[in-house]
Amino acid sequence: MSTRTRLFKHLLALAALSTLCVAAGAAAAADAFPSKAITLIVNGGPGSLPDSFARPLADKLRVALGQAVVVDNRPGAGGMVALQTLKNSPPDGHTLAIVTNAHLVWNPFVFPKLSYDPQADLLPVSPIAVIPMALAVNPRLPVNSLEDLVRLAKQKPGELNYASSSSGSPPHVLFEMFKAQSGTSIVHIPYKTGTDALTSVITNDTQIYLAGTSLVDPMVKDGRLRVLAVSPAINSQTLAGVPSFESRGYKGFDGAVWLGVVSNKGVPTATVERLNREIGTALQDPAILKAFDLHGSLPYHASPAAFAERIAADRVLWTPILQKLQLTPN
């Protein structure tokens, strides 16, 4: 055997050993997960829609994983504050974020200088819910149906306004789609959080908000808000009889908003799969199911691969819609 051949075989053996060591190290790291407290970042303030999902999920994961799970509220800039924090965290699975499809699908069409790349920087872990949306108005606004709202908006173009929980958020994108389909001119007023946007409608600083049903439900019960339409149609005592957008001829709203958990790129596959399993188990817990049912949200769990496929499919679906809307941050 020549010296060159012996050297080549020696290098192959070293490469194989190195691969085994890396694999063993990754497996050991996954086995050791979690080794410290987990941070669950939320693009929203306390009491916001994402926060209302994050806190009960954090409680269940704390028990399942045997480590503290800290909810870190970082609202602002269409999710860029939250997801920049996630992007810069060590890729070990100890930092996660609650996201909506706005962060993973819509934001590249809204923000010309997005501080993160949804495909290059983020890793899908698990979806957790489909979020029903409700178009709510201040009761002082003289409308009782979508048809009334469209009629009034056309009579007073540019005089009515609607709130959102920031540019690029589901309330912003979906209401702009409603405006495009209804042919109305209604002014967008973005806020930093959903709670701020909701308060603005209750105080009549703005008049309209397309929000998650869980946020508006208490205010509908006590008469501070009136709901004109929901998407999708849900089984809710408070919203019984409220028509869906689809039933009134508006397309693309049904099941348009979902919530999920992501990590940053580089987290070991075994860790992602462990987190996915624990989230799936949490979503079957009677306490969480009851909480979801109270506001009509639909539990939604899938494997990381299936979640990634859903995100890819939504990008295909929404790209032409968002290109046509030509949204910009206000």
3-state helix/strand/coil string of 16-58: HHHHHHHHHHHHHHHHHCCCCCEEEEECCCCCCHHHHHHHHHH
Say yes or no: 204 and 152 in one domain. yes
Q: Are residues 188 and 164 in the same domain?
A: yes
Is 92 a domain residue?
Answer: yes
Same domain, 311 and 217: no
Tokens for 232? 């999708």
* Sheet (strand 258-264) strand order: 69-73, 38-42, 95-100, 258-264, 122-130, 298-299
Query: Which of 248, 265, 294 is at the close of a domain?
Result: 248
Task: Please report whether residue 211 resides in a domain.
Answer: yes
Q: Write down the pTM of the prediction.
A: 0.78
Query: Are both 270 and 285 inside the same structural domain?
Result: yes
Rounded to whole angstroms, the Cα distance separating 121 from 116 reads 6
Q: Do 276 and 244 share a domain, yes or no? A: no
Task: Examine the fold and report which residue of 248, 278, 309 is the final residue of a domain before the chain moves on.
Answer: 248
240: domain CATH number? Answer: 3.40.190.10
Same domain as 151, residue 66:
no
Helix (H, G, I), strand (E, B) or coil at 173: helix
pLDDT, one tens digit for every residue, the chain (330 residues): 554 445 444 444 544 444 444 444 444 445 689 999 999 999 988 888 889 899 999 999 999 999 999 999 998 888 899 999 999 999 999 999 999 999 999 999 988 889 999 999 999 999 999 988 999 999 999 999 999 999 999 999 999 999 998 888 888 989 999 999 999 999 999 998 888 999 999 999 999 999 988 888 889 999 999 999 998 877 777 888 899 999 999 988 887 889 999 999 999 999 999 999 999 999 999 989 988 877 678 899 999 999 999 999 999 989 988 898 888 776
Q: Indicate if 98 and 186 belong to the same structural domain.
A: no
Q: Domain span at residue 147?
A: 133-248
Where is the domain boundary, 190, 215, 248?
Answer: 248
The encoded tokens of residue 14 equal 């070293």
